[in-house]
Amino acid sequence: MNPFRPALAALVFSLSAVSAHATAAAEPVPPTRAEVLADLALYQRAGLDGSEYREGFNSFDSSYQARVAAYRRLRSGPEFAAEVARIEARGTAATATRPAQTVSR
């Protein structure tokens, strides 16, 4: 019996286990309901809700760019975690701050 065969088998097995673990760790985790609702609340707080559907919308407008910057600041700051905690504290009845607008056809 080849003395290297068990060592080679162990090496192949350990490398495949590490590879499988690395693949599983790289998969993105979907956001929770509270995170989605918190993101929506901050988007609305920044004044972005519905702005791209308005007549004459211009994504290069300085006031729109300021609202986008405000949203990004809120989303990456402590406000996001505070909003998630607030929504989670409300429980399963958490809803967005405003009802969704329906599109009439």
Domain boundaries, the chain: 33-90
Q: Which pLDDT value is given to residue 17? A: 56
Given the structure tokens 């910057």, which residue do they identify? 69
Residue 46 CB: number of other CB atoms within 10 A? 19
pTM of the model: 0.61
pLDDT average, residue stretch 14-25: 58
At residue 56 the predicted structure's pLDDT band, cuts being 50, 70 and 90, is: confident
